[in-house]
């Protein structure tokens, strides 16, 4: 399943992808991803830094973004990753996360962060395997759509400190092939 940079031609498929996500998943997406103007603005106003996996039918099955933080944190990128329910556990999330890591390092970012719900063991394992480590737990930081408070974990990948480990997950080979 190819992973391609988000362009205007993929916005409608990406909107359908987000609209089909379970309600619980939407709780943990920071932006209003079901708003067509929000998604179209990504391709129009801030191109780059967003990728989608596309099935043979042209439908989006996963999304990943690396958003450079502003100002004094402009060396840091925030990773955002969502995979269709039916594609979870297939390795697609790992493929998208690796793509984000490779692109972020290639663009000169020296630190990546990802925020995940503390009880999401699969996401924790995925990012830990890619060299991310815990930096913070924010207790009761997220209110889900049902009103329940959840803890938020912030994981970070310090590029220079973990570069040696990147070779073990194949990222160095991918960077060299570019």
pLDDT digits (tens), the chain, 178 positions: 789 999 899 999 999 999 998 877 776 677 888 888 888 888 887 667 899 999 989 899 999 999 999 999 999 999 999 999 889 989 999 999 999 998 888 888 999 999 999 988 999 999 999 999 999 999 999 887 788 999 999 999 998 776 545 555 555 565 555 4
Instruction: Compute the radius of gyration of the chain from its Cα atoms.
Output: 16
Residue 52 is predicted with a pLDDT of 94
Residue 24: per-residue pLDDT: 72
Whole-model pTM? 0.84
What pLDDT, on the 0 to 100 scale, is given for residue 145? 76
pLDDT given at position 158: 92
Architecture per CATH, 3-176: 3-Layer(aba) Sandwich (3.40)
> What pLDDT does 165 receive?
52
CA atoms in the 13 A half-sphere facing the CB of 175: 17
| Helix (H) or strand (E) run with residue 17 in it | helix 11-19
Q: What is the pLDDT of residue 47?
A: 66
Q: What HEC string does 77-116 produce?
A: EEEEEEECHHHCCCCHHHHHHHHHHHHHHHCCCCEEEEEE
By three-state DSSP, how is residue 75 classified?
Answer: coil
| pLDDT score at 176 | 52
Domain boundaries, the chain: 3-176
Q: Minimal CA–CA distance to 101: which of 130, 63, 126?
A: 130
């Amino acid at each position: 399943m190819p992973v391609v940079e988000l362009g205007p031609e993929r916005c409608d498929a990406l909107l359908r992808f987000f609209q089909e996500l379970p309600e619980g998943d939407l709780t943990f997406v920071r932006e209003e991803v079901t708003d067509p103007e929000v998604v179209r603005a990504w391709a129009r106003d801030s191109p780059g830094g967003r990728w989608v996996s596309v099935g043979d039918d042209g439908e989006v099955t996963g999304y990943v973004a690396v958003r450079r933080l502003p100002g004094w944190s402009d060396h840091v990128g925030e990773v955002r990753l969502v995979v269709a329910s039916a594609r979870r556990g297939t390795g697609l999330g790992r493929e998208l996360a690796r793509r984000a890591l490779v692109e972020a390092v290639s663009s000169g970012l020296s630190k990546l962060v990802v925020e995940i719900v503390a009880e999401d063991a699969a996401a924790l394992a995925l990012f830990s395997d890619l060299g991310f480590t815990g930096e913070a737990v924010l207790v009761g930081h997220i209110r889900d759509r049902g009103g329940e408070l959840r803890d938020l974990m912030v994981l970070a990948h310090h590029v220079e400190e973990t570069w040696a480990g990147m070779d073990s997950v194949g990222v160095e080979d991918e960077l060299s092939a570019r």
